[in-house]
Amino acid sequence: MRPPSAERRRSGLVDEVNGYVETDPTGRYGRFDEMLGKGAMKTVYRAFDELNGIEVAWNQAKICDVMRSPEALERMYSEVHLLSSLNHDSIIKFHASWIDATNRTFNFITEMFTSGTLREYLQRYPQVNVKAVKRWARQILHGLVYLHGHDPPVIHRDLKCDNIFVNGHLGQVKIGDLGLAAMLRGAQCAHSVIGTPEFMAPEVYEEEYNELVDTYSFGMCVLEMLTSEYPYNECSNPAQIYKKVTSGKLPDAFHHLKDPQAKHFIGRCLQGASKRASAAELLLDPFLVLKDNPTTSPSFTNPANVFKNDLVESRAHDHVQLADNAPDPDTVAKATNMTITGKINPEDDTIFLKVQIAVQEGKMSNIYFPFDIIEDTPLDVANEMVKELDIRDREPSEIAEMIAQEITRLVPGWKKDDEESHQVYNYVDDEEDRSNHPFYYLSSPTSSQASVAFGMSSFRGIHNLQQKEWHGGTVCSYIF
């Protein structure tokens, strides 16, 4: 089938015949009005590729919105540029991109998945045969081997079941959402603290890591596939996750596994970086060998039946090899040197505070706390820091003042109420200036492709599989 002619497009026949609301400049892709997902910077629609006769995902962003955030603009450009250079069966496929100067939109086309994200799929079908999990795991690993073997190597940095997409009728999964991916480009390590806390390897917090962080995240994904439990579901905030990760304590879900082979396989993914298996090595693991056993064999037990003294305890020291400067209560209690710096995520009005504490002479520990400039107050976050980090030599009010100063530096519009009984910091919102306000557009992140099943679910503050709420979602993740 040939794309429609320019005359046909101009005449409006395309809209009348197929019901498009717009087409790309060549007329090959037609967009429908059906929205599949929406984020702060981007909306995803159902579309049709007339040349190949297939449905695709039409990703569209308003140029004025993207230009308000240099980070989001860089993310979008990086994702499109990277996707256009990749070609693998386990990586989401990119088709085309263009700018519509008339409507001032940036558009790009990716393949569309009929069953949504892997997390959504697992919610709909929680009882999955372990053989299916093994097939998914192999496909994901093949994708990681391809990314890590790319020249230069590519690190996904935010691998999770939310970013893995499913064609249920084919049993096919693919890695998507490469907006946070990084190319090593001759360097041996990446340095940004970025990703989703529950899936972040301990060395990420130390700001020096390589592609093995994806292996760690992959292990957490498999854990979620086998148990239907979100990693570190037992934690209520990122600080608790940080303490567990950097002290070598794996999620409670890990202890619910009863299949020794599955536990060993995931354990290889979650070891310290120096002993962690690569994606290529994991493909050879006995756990991924498919046996001709049609019976369903769930690999998890009731949460009450927790295994004790197993793989995690025996490997705790290996697990924190690159995070050996994590604070313990005694060292934090003696800390006098504390600095607080922040970074803004313009997508959801969240500031991520980086707290540096001197735990030993010449050593600093980095801890990250999210701060929502709409809902949080410096005193609330300070109290959380004192509680979670067992800080004994500083008053919450003193830490709150440090936080307030940093927020004022980042967001000059913040002002402190003159209430002695409770410190509250309100954001000054000028109604007339909303159109130019970088923090006015509030919405949840979405995938770079669309979920047909029921759109893209919001991840901000909501953990879909039995997880508790906390503000933060993806650390420093400029998702649009």
Amino acid at 258: K
> How far does the chain reach from its first CA to its final CA, in angstroms?
34
Residue 435, classed as helix, strand or coil, is helix
Structure tokens belonging to residue 236: 């209520």
Q: Residue 152: is the preceding peptide bond cis (ω within 30°)?
A: yes
Closest alpha carbon to 473 in 332, 348, 334, 383: 348
Amino acid at 453: A
Q: What residues are labeled active site?
A: 177
Bridge partner list, 340: 355
pLDDT along the chain (480 residues), means of 10: 48 62 94 82 88 94 70 70 87 90 89 89 91 96 94 88 90 86 60 76 85 96 95 89 88 94 96 94 92 46 34 35 38 58 64 74 69 80 80 83 86 58 40 34 36 33 36 36
Closest alpha carbon to 164 in 195, 139, 147: 139
Closest alpha carbon to 195 in 477, 480, 478, 479: 477
Q: How far is CA 419 from CA 146, 164, 170, in A?
A: 57, 48, 60
Q: How does pLDDT run across 379-394, given as a tens digit for each residue?
A: 888 888 887 777 777 8
Q: How does pLDDT run across 97-147, given as a tens digit for each residue?
A: 898 888 888 898 999 988 888 999 999 998 889 999 999 999 999 999 999
Bridge partner list, 425: 416
CB atoms within 10 A of CB 346: 18
Q: What pLDDT, on the 0 to 100 scale, is given for residue 348?
A: 52
CA 355 to CA 368: how far, in whole Å? Answer: 6
Amino acid at 190: A
Q: Which domains are present in the chain?
A: 6-111 (3.30.200.20), 118-323 (1.10.510.10)
Give residue 274's Cα distance to chain centre.
24
Q: How far is CA 164 from CA 63, 223, 260, in A?
A: 27, 14, 26
CA 328 to CA 335: how far, in whole Å? Answer: 11
Q: What pLDDT, on the 0 to 100 scale, is given for residue 341?
A: 85
Structure tokens belonging to residue 264: 């060993």
Q: What pLDDT, on the 0 to 100 scale, is given for residue 293?
A: 47
For the chain, count helices (H), then strands (E): 17, 15
Q: What pLDDT, on the 0 to 100 scale, is given for residue 169?
A: 86
Q: What pLDDT, on the 0 to 100 scale, is given for residue 284?
A: 95
Distant-in-sequence, close-in-space partners of 177: CB < 8 Å, separation ≥ 6 = 79, 158, 162, 163, 447, 448, 479
CA 119 to CA 177: how far, in whole Å? Answer: 14
Contact 355, 298 (CB under 8 A): no
The number of residues making up the chain comes to 480
Q: What pLDDT, on the 0 to 100 scale, is given for residue 463?
A: 35
**Residue 45: phi, psi to the nearest 5?**
-120, 160
**Residue 461: phi, psi to the nearest 5?**
80, 0
